[in-house]
Chain A
Amino acid sequence: MAEFLTDLLAWFGDNWSGSTGYITRTWEHLWVSGWAVLAAMGVAMPLASWLGHARRGGILAISVVNVGRALPSFGIVALSLPVTIRIARNVPFIDSGLGFLPTFVALFALALPPIFTNTYTGVRNVSPEAVEAARGMGFRGTGILWKVELPLASPVILAGIRTSSVQVVATATLGALVAYGGLGRYIIDGFALRDNVTIFAGALLVAALSVLTEVAFSIAERWLVPRPLRNVGTQQRPEAAASVAR
């Protein structure tokens, strides 16, 4: 036991720098996660806010949650690889279908459901009185969406982005399986070599990064959500958010 701890400490001393060091690995991990969440926001939010504003597609929103929950993240990551390999072969300016691309595609797909559902329900559940009042003051369709519905829905939308991000950071660990870097590298390589110290160190780093992501978002929520609307997001999170097995 004591020996294991000594080895573990030594590992952290020996492996912090260089292209396989954990600083680089952490950066890789966050890099692919960040792009995946941003891309998912870019796709899901406009569509969901329009549907929520038009008060259409309720069944779609519910199905997205359920399907999202049923998707095995391991399967999605694995499935991306043969897809991106074929894309890379047919699109000249993509030079590799390994590594970043399949990881990104999988994480993007997994990030969509929570953002879509929360944006939709957030906009949809804005009280009809508030919308009516805005209409009475002369706001029109897009004005209502931008000036009333989206600000009021912001806590719920932010909660969706948070759920997605935490999930994406967790699942990015699996990127190591499709030849990407990231912190999952240590666990996967450790498994292959039956190297308990590396496995455990990798697990610690991954767990720490997920917890930090959660913490970062709770701080961001304090900053971004207007005081009267706080708590709304966290209350709705268990119901509205789609959580994917990670």
Chain B
Amino acid sequence: MVSPVSDAMIRLEAVTKQYPGTMTPAVDELSLEIPEGEIAVLVGPSGCGKTTTLKMINRLIEPTSGEIVVAGERVTEMDQSELRRGIGYVIQQIGLFPHRTIAENIATVPKLLGWDKARTNERIDELIDVVQLEPEMRDRYPAELSGGQRQRVGVARALAADPPVMLMDEPFGAVDPIVRSALQDQFLDLQHRLNKTIVLVTHDIDEAIKLGDRVAILNVGGILEQYAPPSDMLREPANAFVADFLGSDRGLKRLGLLPIRNANLEMGPVVAPTAHPQDAHRVMEQYGVDWFAVAEGKRLLGWAPGTALETAPDVRSIPLQPYRTRIDVGSTLKEALDAVVSSRAPMTAVFDGDDYLGMLSADRISREIVQ
């Protein structure tokens, strides 16, 4: 009997894989829990057993010992083919069937499951739309598609029977970097809508940080070094191996995960149009700058140098220049920092659409890392 000790969708309990004739195990007593609807990324150097671990979940590789439970069922007690038909599987080389059209490729698992024609066809159309392929690709052969398109067909094929669990082995490894980044964004977007439980293997730590709700860093011999949400891991690496694997720029990497929305914005040297020139002098002194900006409610009107105050009778009559260093609140702190360091302004203005929200300085951003 399986006792549901947690609500994890996938549970690995002390899973070990030892190949015959080898001294050390490929995976050593690995335990992991992946909650429903989350993306867990397995990452590590080559020989860390990440792909072996993935393939043990759908039993392409049989574990030597330990237990793997998917949706409350022990995989070793299930029929192999049935288990696999219930799990989406995407590999690096994609492995589309070259002798079948795109539609037939997508229909692979529905056909194995014995869906009727109408239902399968409806599903094909739906998926072609979901992965943003053109409908006329339906009857093409894989050889006629670009690398990025093939990758999307691979994802569509894995999604065809709407499996709750997906396994992805270096799914973006075979496409060039620009396409990869776009595919990753599209994939995250898709996941927000579909909420699958996904185990993804990669050797690219940046991809792991970008995609993972949780990241498992594995060391050679299948030893789990740390399993945590990426921002926790970047703030507090469990040991030197993890810190080293995350890289020397892990502060910056963490900034890339922190949304501006959650940061404390500053007022900045900003005054209302109705303010007295002396208020302007006061905020400039407070922030140690020789310029000030003017805002009226949620509208940032512009900025002027401190010297403008000498000749003007009041703030309202000062001619303002547009404030060009700006960023959307949906961006990350890393992007905000980039906006600051790549302009001459010491602060970036944060907007939500057209609404001005506040300012962020490099100093303020660096304090956010520590929190």
Question: Is A in direct contact with B (CB under 8 Å) within the complex?
Answer: no
Q: Which residues of A contact B (CB under 8 A)?
A: none
